[in-house]
Each structure stands twice: as C-alpha cells, then as structure tokens.
C-alpha cells in the first residue's frame, strides 16, 4: 500500500489513498482554517471507526438492526512531569438500545477489541523516514 501526501495550501495536508483524498487541516488557533480534522484527531477517530466497523459487521452478520447503536470514544489525559498533557487511556463505549439482546453484550466488546488499528498500536511497526531526491 502506498499513500501520497500533498500540501494543497495553508496548513492543509492531504493523503491520497487509492484515488480517495483524506483532507486534514490545523485548527484556527494553530494557524489553519479548521476546515478538516487535524492529523492527530483523524488518528484518534480511526480507533473508534475501526472498532465501529467490527461492531457493524457483527450486527449485520446476525441481522441485528443497527439503528440506535453508537460508539462513544473518550480520551483521558494525564500531566507529565514537564506539565504537558499526555494521552493515558482511550475508552470506547458501545451504546445499545434497551431492546438489544443481552446475550450479545460481551460478544460486542470482544469484536470491537479486534480492531486492527488498536492491534497495530499495541504492536507498533518500525518507522523509517527518508529524504528522496526526484
């Protein structure tokens, strides 16, 4: 897989992935237009959406209606000794309607836990960054 990164102007940075453009921008307070999520926010959102696709697939396979099912992701931060905020914990709640079958509650947690993004964070890849003259 290859993702091409471009700079369309201002503080915007786009990722071109198989012909689809994923736009990012910085918040206005950081010099951007606030026209798209910041890269870090997009990274955090990828965790919830990844868990979400597993939940969605679980329900679709069992013909369980997904109306009323949502996921809520919360980030909990701690202060470092230097006084900076550091991400400490990510909590994802799977919100289901009252009539959702209780027998599937634990299974929903188990499938959401299979998120490939989370697994990648838990077993991080090696990074290599190069300057290439073209």
Q: Where are the domains of the chain?
A: 1-36, 46-134
Give the tens place of pLDDT for each residue, 77-104: 999 999 999 999 999 999 999 999 999 9
Give the tens place of pLDDT for each residue, 30-46: 999 999 999 999 999 99
pTM of the model: 0.89
Contact, 68 vs 97, CB < 8 A? yes
Q: Work out the angle at residue 23's Cα, subtended by the Cα atoms of residues 19 and 27, and round it to the nearest 5 degrees.
A: 175
| The CATH number of domain 46-134 is 3.30.300.20 | yes
Rounded to 5 degrees, φ, ψ at 29 are -65, -20
């Amino acid at each position: 897989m290859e993702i091409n990164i471009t700079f369309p102007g201002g503080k915007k940075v786009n990722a071109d992935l198989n012909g689809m453009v994923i736009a990012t921008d910085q918040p206005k307070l950081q010099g951007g237009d606030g026209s798209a999520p910041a890269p870090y926010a997009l990274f955090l959102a990828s965790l919830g959406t990844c868990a979400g696709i597993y939940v969605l697939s679980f329900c679709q396979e069992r013909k369980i209606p997904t109306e009323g099912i949502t996921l809520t992701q919360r980030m909990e931060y701690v202060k470092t000794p230097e006084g900076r905020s550091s991400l400490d914990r990510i909590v994802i709640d799977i919100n289901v309607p009252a009539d959702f079958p209780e027998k599937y509650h634990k299974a929903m947690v188990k499938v959401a836990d299979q998120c490939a993004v989370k697994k990648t964070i838990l077993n991080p890849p090696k990074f290599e960054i190069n300057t290439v003259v073209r």
